Amino acid sequence: MKKYSLLILFLALSVGPLFAQVLDVESFSNKITETPQALLLDVRTSGEFGGGHLPKATNIDFRSEGFSKEIDKLDKSKPVLIYCLSGGRSAQAAEMMRAKGFQVTELKGGYLKWTTKLMPLEGVPTVKHDAAWNLADFEKLAKESDAVVVDFYAKWCAPCLKMMPMVDKLAGEYTGKVTVIKVEADGNQAILQASGVDEIPSFLVFRKGKLIQKTSGFREEPKLKELFDQATGTIQ
């Protein structure tokens, strides 16, 4: 009987992470409503948080040196609802917090997925946004042009801002060869959703109306140039 009990305990500890709760946007939103006592935790940087966040969220940067100490100050009796930009950092933070005894629920797809579903936001700064695209116009241009590179960006996104001059430079070099479409994430959620984009920065490459490449994350200029060459068919 003792061996049987130990076996059950071992299995429970081994498979426990498999039962980690990761909810889609709608379910996560319902969880917020159903558990008003829960701590809604945003583990992005303060800069990201300052660009907009879920209503009533608390910000503790997962990458900061003091994250673990800040977490130790929280009440373990309260459930935690956690998110980051796209789900990577929040998954790591949730794992750490569960090891400390917290009950944690993650938002699948993070802040980006939340915004593509047009869910409520708080703290969005009053910056001047670029003109929003009409979905039909965007799809027509992307599919009717011979070579297209689509740049999905946000004005709160540091990697996006760093790449902007490089994208502009390449757009000039490939004038007449490649059509560059810039889509600001804020205000174009319908296009992000239709394109399956849930991370910023992201790029789509079309050649003769066909999507041939989809990539996310920061790219140095030589890697950005590869996208333009793929669009023209210079490289496969």
Ordered by start, the domain boundaries in the chain are 2-116, 135-232
The CA–CA distances, whole Å, from 158 to 2, 3, 29 equal 56, 55, 28
Q: What is the mean pLDDT of residues 96-116?
A: 91
State mean pLDDT over 2-16. 45
Write a three-state SS string for 175-216: CCCCEEEEEECCCCHHHHHHHCCCCCCEEEEEECCEEEEEEE
Q: Label residue 12 by pLDDT band (50, 70, 90).
A: very low
Domain 135-232, CATH: 3.40.30.10
In 124-185, beta strands by DSSP E: 147-153, 179-184
Amino acid at site 13: L
**Residue 129 C-beta-side C-alpha neighbours within 13 Å:** 16
Do the first three CATH levels of 2-116 and 135-232 match, i.e. the same topology? no
For domain 2-116, say whether CATH 3.40.250.10 is its number.
yes
Of the candidates 114, 62, 106, the one whose C-alpha atom is nearest the C-alpha of residue 81 is 106
Catalytic positions: 157, 160
Residue that wins the pLDDT comparison between 81 and 217: 81
pTM of the predicted model as reported, rounded to 2 decimal places: 0.59
Helices 158-173 and 221-232: angle between axes, nearest 10 degrees: 50
